[in-house]
Chains A and B, each alone.
Chain A
């Protein structure tokens, strides 16, 4: 029987990695991620998880170790944050280009300088074009489930998968999480089977991997990564349906909250969604027809689904806890580009909030809604609460 436990977002990741029968873990400590791999190192040292834990001298090496492990067909995992993820950047390209189904948990932390340990999304979103799938989480239960679903999808489409959780607001927050039994997880995600067709390193038959490729061939390698992402969207949708059938928790490419008859929509991601839901429920009591669209899957991006859900609304506000410098909020860019092909489309307003872990309250969200309702001209970037 599965059981519920009051636990942090970080430990929810550790338990999910355990549940997923990961075979190789390699990581380098960094706040606020460290607790993930601390608990995993204990679980491995106690022999509860039959895995190899590789200590390394940097995040670049941690991803390199995962790449080596995954290239042999092993199920590999790492976790990091901010500067650590940035240091991995080169290897992130390598993992995706080599088509290795590694899962990485990134605890969203603002990039330095100036130094910060608090949350925003720029670290993960800066990895947008590396070829990794990305999913954003609102609760510790979502975090736990995302790791298991992540491996299931990644291994079918042969792409790496990044699950993202907010620093402190999830990583260090304790709340109830249903931990599945090994038998239950095995039913959905069987132990990794050796797959010599795609993954094998034979010491008696040494080969080179990822070597110099001429312009006559390289182009098609990139095309195939894109095709894999397009396929991943379908595989993800199928797997979350199967997950819901078995475990009763339904996940989509996004979550719709009070959207059925909504004229106005707040597009959110990650933990500030909870505050947005609370604010929207209050605004509904005042008669404002508003709802929340919580983005989950960021790569592959669900363009068609976005058009279907947002196309007919009066106004859309995208709330970004990130900034694409010299452009706009990053989710804003994506939502706006998704709506462009429609002949009739709503104006989309872009709000920036909560960067560097500044607290986001339901009152802040109500302010955003007030502001959006008043505006007649579409506005692409509005910074909430800047103090100068």
Chain B
């Protein structure tokens, strides 16, 4: 079973991203579960969403996820207020929406080398494809493209289909954003 936690802000589409990721994994033959942090969502406030995916024969617990395998961060300013690495298992990916280099996060935020940081300029990609506004781009599908590339948990083909199924509007633009992020994600330096 793979457990994933997404950190975003209300309006960025973290909850929809969680649903799209679940749908993509389901298309790849996994059993899936996707749920938001059970709160009252407000625009701009920190939002968390969760995914479980794995073998259909496993027992899927229903508690929240306290020790995720991977983490996605839709807004880098969340690093200042939320402990996005909390409980993250060693070897886990941290995929961050940021134009900066992954190495910056080890240096400036003292990220442990136990974690693999990948960055993608999801905000610029979203703006380029007309998703959201310049000040409030909707980065959810772009960050999923990056996540798909670095982890290889779901296939790009399934991700595209899941986006077409679940994106409420601008389906092809969202697919293009995911593909561009898939291609442009930055990996950490090899040790």
Contacts and interface: CB of A to CB of B under 8 A. Distances in A.
- Majority secondary structure of chain B interface residues (helix, strand, loop or mixed): mixed
Nearest to A117: B40
A357 B33 CA distance: 18
A367 B112 CA distance: 33
B106 interface: no
Contact of A168 (B34, B38, B59, B60): B38
Contacts, number: 64
Given A6-B26, A176-B26, A361 B36 contact: no
Contacts of B64: 359
A58 interface: no
Contacts of A272: 62
Contact of A173 (B31, B35, B40, B66): B35
B19 interface: yes
Q: Which of B18, B34, B62 has the most CB of A within 10 A?
A: B62
Interface in B30-56: 31-36, 38, 40
Q: How extensive is the interface on chain A, given as a class?
A: 20 to 34
Contacts of A277: 59
Contact of B62 (A6, A167, A274): A274
Interface string B57-92: 001111110100000000000000000000000000
Contact of B31 (A176, A357, A359): A176
Contact of B59 (A173, A176, A274): A274
A282 B19 CA distance: 29
Contacts of A4: 26
B9 to A, nearest CB: 18
Given A172-B36, A173-B35, A174-B33, A6 B23 contact: yes
B38 A118 contact: yes
Given A6-B19, A6-B23, A6-B26, A175 B63 contact: no
B65 to A, nearest CB: 10
Contact of A361 (B22, B33, B63): B63
Interface string A256-268: 0000000000000
B63 A362 contact: yes
Q: Which of A4, A117, A167, A174 has the most CB of B within 10 A?
A: A174
B33 A175 contact: yes
B62 A174 contact: no
A6 B32 contact: yes
A357 B23 CA distance: 26
A172 B63 contact: no
Given A118-B38, A357-B38, A359-B64, A278 B32 contact: no
B32 A176 contact: yes
A281 interface: yes
Q: Which 6 A-B pairs have the closest CB atoms?
A: A168-B38, A173-B35, A361-B63, A174-B34, A278-B59, A274-B62
Given A6-B19, A278-B61, 7 more contacts: A6-B23, A117-B38, A173-B35, A274-B60, A360-B63, A361-B63, A361-B66
